[in-house]
């Protein structure tokens, strides 16, 4: 191991902890004062200034082997190779004389597309995070022969100096795709490790004709796979983690010619105000050994959690292995999906609670990737703000969106997948006026779609977005299925709807020349902007 670390420039290390087990990492984490032990066994860590991802601090190296493939722009900012080498040298020098923790694991549950991964960290808890999140290698023979294709060097206490290092702040996440090297510094937020590896997989998999997807997935008793696309806060993890279906994974998947596979081996769930009644499986994971809780409030005496406390951040997280979920499914490849759900937390209160999409509408909404930020979630936001994140994960998609959209569209047609748009946001008015759509009603609508019941009901077409809304759904009041019915002032609904529709249309202009007429026309009708 020492020789392999020397090859990437890690020299004069104090000690190398190579593939320590979970109990060993617990001991080191406590001894080193990196975390507190909570009631029933999870570790609670604080990530300091950075309690979420820092997209402005992520750079892709503009190197010869990948530069012509990257969709350069706001999401994929470039860094010159010379700058990268300078920062890499800085990190390697910082690591000298320090102990390091090395986890050898895999990204990708399907062995045909599996990518060998090595995560090198300065903190024990980040090594446990990697052990939870990625796919462990139980066989000693495979561990001994492990040759990483992707290597992460994680030094959260090594800070950049923007004026000297060419970064945006003291934090940096650097991807050198040609060398398979990811370098992270200045931030302790564990999600940076997870999403940097996902970004690299989103570069590698499509080149092998695999759809890489920011979605959760589960499997029903009839061997039917369902996919749930959505941005943070829309309900991917909540809606896919249910007792009557097996959880394939909660966030990152590949879809190849043989079926769907999890890219990860663990879950990373948002836990603020988590309820044991509404989300029992995830709630139980916050009270288990091996779980890491980021920025969750803890009583210093009783060591009991307060999941309602957002004093450190709204983005409190739990990282735990998939085996913590009783319905978790660890097999490599799963059947092709029968249903695909696109989740949007619409704070404008305009989109139907559920609508069935044509293939062209599915492509339109996949490229749009709409949800909304709420008033109060960021400084200066006093009204709901529309967010469009193409492919429901633009910050993690290094290739042009049409690469992912074309692959997904071909799979949907080939396997005759039913596609649905689900509003997990507001009804009866925008945020501040209307109410959040009941999680019970959303679950009932998804159950009806999965069982095929929604394929046996009548639909009416929404005039504004052209969406097909069911007239009835078991266990759901029929009046809420058409959102206009829930507003006290129908004219106010129309005004707010036109506002949202225009935002959709303005956003989609960047894709208009690259899609078919049928996909372009699957959005809001221009006739409504008179």
Q: What DSSP state is assigned to residue 374?
A: P
* Cβ count within 10 A of residue 471: 11
- What's the pLDDT score for residue 257? 97
- Match domain 12-38+53-208 to its CATH number in 3.40.449.10, 3.40.1410.10, 3.30.360.10, 1.10.10.10: 3.40.449.10
Using CB atoms within 10 Å of the CB of residue 495, give its burial: 0 to 12 exposed, 13 to 18 middle, 19+ buried: exposed
Q: How far apart, in whole angstroms, are the C-alpha atoms of residue 181 and residue 165?
A: 18
- 3-class DSSP string for 489-528: CHHHHHHHHHHHHHHHHHHHHHHHHHCCHHHHCCCCCHHH
- The CA-based angle 124-272-135, given to 5 degrees, is 40
CA distance 33 to 56: 30
* CB contact at 8 A, 150 and 182: yes
Q: What angle do CA 183, 267, 48 make, to 5 degrees?
A: 50
Report how far apart the first and last C-alpha atoms of the chain are (Å, whole number): 67
3: left (phi over 0), alpha (psi -120 to 50) or beta: alpha
Per-residue pLDDT tens over the stretch 407-433: 999 999 999 999 999 999 999 999 889
pLDDT on residue 10: 94
Task: Indicate the SS3 state at residue 348.
Answer: coil
Cβ atoms 141, 299 nearer than 8 A: no
Domain boundaries, the chain: 12-38+53-208, 267-324, 336-523
Instruction: List the chain residues with pLDDT less than 50.
Output: 375-382, 526-530
The whole-number pLDDT of residue 525 equals 78
Name the residues annotated as catalytic.
53, 195, 214, 232, 236-237, 251, 317
For residue 424, give the H/E element and its range. none
The verdict on domain 267-324 having CATH code 2.170.8.10 is: yes
**Cα–Cα nearest to 249, from 230, 228, 278:** 228
For residue 67, give every residue at least 6 positions away whose Cβ sits within 8 Å of its Cβ, in sequence order, or none.
78
Dist CA 87 CA 160 (whole Å): 8
pLDDT at 150: 98
Strand partners, 8: none
Instruction: Report the CATH fold assignment for 336-523.
Output: Phosphoenolpyruvate Carboxykinase; domain 3 (3.90.228)
| CA angle, residues 294, 295, 298, in degrees to nearest 5 | 110
Q: Model's pTM, two decimal places?
A: 0.94
Strand 36-37 versus strand 43-45 pairing type? antiparallel
Residue 321 per-residue DSSP state:
E
- CB neighbourhood size of 385 (10 A): 16
**Ordered strands of the 172-176 beta sheet:** 15-18, 99-107, 115-121, 150-155, 181-185, 172-176, 58-61, 77-79
- 3-class SS at 475? coil
- At residue 2, the pLDDT reads 80
Q: Count the residues in the chain.
A: 530
Cβ-contact 448, 473 below 8 angstroms: yes
- Per-residue pLDDT reduced to its tens digit, 469-498: 999 999 999 999 999 999 999 999 999 999
Compute the distance between CA of residue 358 and CA of residue 355 in angstroms, rounded to an integer.
10
What per-residue confidence (pLDDT) applies to 384?
Answer: 67
DSSP string spanning 185-240? ES---THHHHHHHHHHHHHHGGGGT-EEEEEEEEE-TTS-EEEEE--TTSSHHHHH
Q: At what angle do helices 401-414 and 359-368 cross, to 10 degrees?
A: 150
The secondary element (H helix, E strand) that includes residue 26 is helix 22-31
């Amino acid at each position: 191991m020492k020789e392999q670390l020397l090859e990437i420039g890690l020299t004069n290390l104090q000690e190398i902890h190579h593939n320590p087990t979970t109990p060993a990492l617990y001991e080191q984490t406590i001894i080193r004062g990196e975390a507190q032990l909570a009631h029933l066994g999870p570790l609670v860590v604080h990530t300091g200034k950075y309690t979420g991802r820092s997209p402005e601090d992520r750079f892709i190296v503009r190197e010869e082997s990948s530069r012509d493939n990257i969709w350069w722009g706001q999401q994929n900012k470039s860094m010159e190779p010379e700058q990268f080498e300078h920062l890499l040298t800085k990190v390697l020098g910082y690591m000298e004389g320090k102990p390091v923790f090395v986890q050898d694991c895999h990204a990708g549950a399907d062995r045909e597309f599996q990518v060998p991964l090595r995560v090198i960290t300065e903190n024990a808890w980040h090594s446990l995070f990697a052990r939870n999140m990625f796919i462990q290698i139980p066989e000693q023979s495979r561990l001994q022969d492990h040759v990483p294709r992707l290597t992460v060097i994680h030094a959260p206490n090594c800070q950049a100096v923007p004026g000297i290092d060419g970064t945006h702040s003291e934090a940096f996440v650097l991807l050198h795709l040609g060398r398979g090297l990811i370098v992270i510094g200045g931030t302790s937020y564990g999600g940076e490790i997870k999403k940097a590896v996902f970004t690299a997989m989103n570069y590698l998999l499509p080149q092998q004709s695999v759809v890489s997807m920011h979605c959760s997935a589960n499997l029903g008793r009839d061997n039917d796979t369902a996919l749930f696309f959505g941005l943070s806060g829309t309900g991917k993890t909540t809606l896919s983690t249910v007792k009557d279906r097996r959880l394939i994974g909660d966030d990152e998947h590949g879809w190849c010619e043989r079926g769907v596979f999890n890219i990860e081996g663990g879950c990373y769930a948002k836990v603020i105000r988590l309820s044991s009644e509404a989300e029992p499986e995830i709630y139980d994971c916050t009270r288990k050994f091996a779980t890491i809780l980021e920025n969750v409030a803890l009583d210093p005496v009783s060591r009991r959690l307060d999941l309602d406390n957002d004093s450190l951040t709204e983005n409190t997280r739990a990282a735990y292995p998939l085996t913590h979920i009783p319905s978790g499914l660890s097999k490599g490849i799963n059947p092709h999906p029968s249903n695909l759900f696109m989740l949007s937390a619409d704070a404008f209160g305009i989109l139907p609670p559920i609508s069935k999409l044509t293939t062209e509408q599915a492509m339109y909404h996949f490229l749009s990737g709409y949800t909304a930020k709420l008033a109060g979630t960021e400084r200066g936001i006093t009204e709901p703000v529309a967010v469009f994140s193409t492919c429901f994960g633009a910050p993690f998609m290094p290739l042009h969106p049409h690469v992912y959209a074309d692959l997904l569209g071909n799979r949907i047609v080939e396997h005759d997948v039913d596609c649905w748009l689900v509003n997990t946001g507001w009804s009866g008015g925008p945020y501040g006026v209307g109410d959040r759509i009941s999680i019970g009603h959303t679950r009932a609508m998804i159950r009806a779609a999965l069982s095929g019941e929604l394929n046996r009901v009548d639909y009416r077409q929404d005039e504004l977005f052209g969406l097909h809304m069911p007239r009835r759904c078991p266990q759901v009041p029929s009046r809420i299925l058409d959102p206009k019915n829930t507003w006290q002032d129908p004219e106010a609904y129309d005004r707010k709807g036109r506002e949202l529709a225009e935002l959709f249309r303005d956003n989609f202009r960047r894709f208009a020349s690259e899609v078919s007429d049928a996909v372009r026309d699957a959005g809001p009708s221009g006739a409504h902007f008179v």
